[in-house]
Amino acid sequence: MHSRPVLPHSVTIRDVGPRDGLQPEAPVPVERRIELVESLIAAGVSRIEAVAFVSPKAVPAMAGAAEVLDGITRSEAVTIAALVPNLRGAEMALESEVDELTVTLSFSETYNQRNVKMSVAESESAIADIVRSAAAAGVPVDAVVSCSFGSPYEGDADPAEVVALAQRLLDGGTTTVTYADTTGMATPRRIHDLADALDSAGLLGPSTGLHLHDTRGTALANAFTALERGISRFDTAVGGLGGSPFAHGAGGNLATEVLVAALDDAGVSTGIEIERLVDAALLVEELVGRPVPSGVAHQGPRTRRSAPQG
């Protein structure tokens, strides 16, 4: 009899749907964005990236971030995060009393220039300013390293160099680092390669998270490979929306309900109620006006939610 891989007893999921999922879409009214966040909270999602404090001219879908945060029912049981691109964005987010800041930079120099109009070194400097401001307010900062597995511009990423960048961020005061497969280039083998590099650097542990995109249909397999390596923190997006305008062909995020359904079946706790989460995914479908790319949203976790008529 073959032994089964040992998986963590529990997993922490941060749903980035209200930010990463809606960001590339036509703007959704503030009150409906609040409704989406509330539906995730009702499903038991305890970490949510709700907004981004970015220029509304650059990203119209994220306008009204402060109003969204003001309308959310806040509790100590739920961590609300905001993505911030610079110190001014961080100050605005802190004024709205967010629980966590998310900052992003790319391992890919070209992608970073296209995404935030800065070099990677300039992004590191900007993040240092944000970290100092957040530390004064007692707010943790998660750094998301885009293109951690490669980019359309420079090709494959060297795991050791990715980890060296992460080490600099942690040394500079970020609380955690999340490795993003922005363009869906990761495979289980490359998840192992990154985990090996993290392990060699002594960074494989609670500070490690993954942000997986499903461009090539490998996101769920990648997540379970990461679980086998002891990684237990993931970014996902309800409904599987998301993508990047700066990386041609980038697909949506791993759908929260897809990961939760698979974890439920594997006996790994998330604290999230799958049926309520499916309701949130169907709400996303209503908000964007088209079907979401999530089989679990339409078919249920194991069976159809209701028998077909006729």
Q: Digits of tens for pLDDT over the chain (310 positions)?
A: 677 788 999 999 999 999 999 999 999 999 999 999 999 999 999 999 999 999 999 899 999 999 999 999 999 999 999 999 999 999 999 999 999 999 999 999 998 898 888 899 999 999 999 999 999 999 999 999 999 999 988 999 999 999 999 999 999 999 999 999 998 999 999 999 999 999 999 999 998 999 999 999 999 999 999 999 999 999 999 999 987 655 555 568 999 999 999 999 999 999 999 999 999 999 999 999 999 999 999 999 987 655 444 4
Residue 43 and residue 55: Cα distance in Å, rounded? 31
Q: Is residue 2 part of a domain?
A: no
Q: Which residues contact 123 (CB under 8 A, 6 or more apart)?
A: 105, 106, 112, 116
Which of 130, 150, 149, 151 has the alpha carbon at shortest distance from 141? 130
Which of 141, 133, 146 has the alpha carbon at shortest distance from 79? 141
Q: Please tell me the pTM assigned to this model.
A: 0.94
Q: Residue 250's pLDDT is what?
A: 57
Q: Is residue 305 part of a domain?
A: no
Q: Residue 251's pLDDT is what?
A: 65
CATH number where 140 lies: 3.20.20.70
Which of 309, 294, 235 has the alpha carbon at shortest distance from 261? 294
Residue 269 and residue 260: Cα distance in Å, rounded? 9
Q: What are phi and psi of 176, to 5 degrees?
A: -145, 165
Q: Residue 114's pLDDT is what?
A: 86
Q: Is residue 82 part of a domain?
A: yes
- Number of domains observed in the structure of the chain: 1
Q: Is residue 210 part of a domain?
A: yes
Asked if residues 133 and 98 have their Cβ atoms less than 8 Å apart, the reply is no
What H or E segment, with its residue span, contains residue 15? strand 12-15
Q: Residue 302's pLDDT is what?
A: 85
Q: Is residue 7 part of a domain?
A: no
Asked if residues 111 and 149 have their Cβ atoms less than 8 Å apart, the reply is no
Domain boundaries, position 83: 12-299
